[in-house]
A and B are shown apart, each in its own frame.
Chain A
Amino acid sequence: MEAASATRPALRILRAPAPPPVVLLLAAACVALVIGSLVSDQFAEQTVAGLATGGIFGSLALALVLIYRATEVINFAQGQMAMFTTYIAWQLMQWGIGYWGAFVLTLGIAFAGGVALLAFALGAVFVRDWTFERMGIKQAGGGVIAVVIVTIGMLILLEGAAAWIWSPEIKSFPSAFPTRPIRVGGVAFSIQDLGTIGVALGSVVVLWVFFQFTKVGLAMRAAALRPFAARLVGVRVNAMLALGWGLAAVLGAIAGLMIAPTIFLQPTMMDTILIYAFAAAVLGGIESPAGAVVGGLALGVVLNLLGTYVHFVTSELRLPVALGMLLIVLLIKPTGLFGHRVVRKV
Chain B
Amino acid sequence: MPPLLELENVEARYGPIKALHGVSLKVDEGKVVAVLGANGAGKTTTLRAVSNTVKRSGDIRFAGKPLGRRAPESVAKLGIAHVPEGRGTFAELTVMENLRLGGYTRHGSIRGDIDRVRAYFPWIDERADQQAGTLSGGEQQMLALARAFMQRPRLLLLDEPSLGLAPLVVSEIFRIVKELNEEGMTVLVVEQNANIALQAADEAYVLEVGKVVLSGPSAELREHESVRKSYLGY
Give me the interface of A with B, judged by CB distance under 8 Å: 11, 14-15, 215, 218-219, 221-222, 225-226, 228-237
Contact = CB atoms under 8 A, between A and B. Distances in A.
Greatest chain A CB density within 10 A among B73, B105, B129 is at: B73
B93 interface: yes
Contacts of A11: 126
A231 B72 contact: yes
Given A218-B100, A232-B76, 5 more contacts: A14-B130, A232-B81, A232-B82, A233-B105, A233-B151
A229 B83 CA distance: 8
A236 B105 CA distance: 10
A225 B90 contact: yes
Interface of B: 51, 53, 71-74, 76-77, 81-84, 88-93, 97, 100-102, 104-105, 126, 129-130, 147, 151
Contact of A228 (B53, B83, B93, B100): B53
A234 B88 contact: no
A229 B84 contact: yes
A36 to B, nearest CB: 37
Given A225-B92, A226-B90, A234 B97 contact: no
A39 B104 CA distance: 53
A234 B76 contact: yes
A167 to B, nearest CB: 46
Contact of A232 (B53, B100, B129): B53
A89 to B, nearest CB: 36
A222 B101 contact: yes
Contact of B101 (A15, A219, A237): A219
B171 to A, nearest CB: 22
B88 A219 contact: no
A221 B91 CA distance: 12
B73 A236 contact: yes
A218 B99 CA distance: 11
A234 B151 contact: yes
A17 B74 CA distance: 41
B93 A222 contact: yes
A14 B130 CA distance: 9
B84 A215 contact: no
A232 B150 CA distance: 13
B53 A231 contact: yes
Nearest to B122: A4
B53 A219 contact: no
6 contacts: A219-B101, A232-B88, A233-B81, A234-B74, A234-B151, A235-B73
A42 to B, nearest CB: 44
B53 A234 contact: no
A235 B93 CA distance: 15
Contacts of B100: 215, 218
A231 B104 CA distance: 11
A172 B151 CA distance: 54
A274 B57 CA distance: 48
Q: Which 6 A-B pairs have the closest CB atoms?
A: A234-B76, A234-B105, A229-B88, A231-B72, A232-B82, A231-B73
Given A218-B101, A228-B53, A234 B84 contact: no
B51 A225 contact: no
A225 B92 CA distance: 8
B184 to A, nearest CB: 20
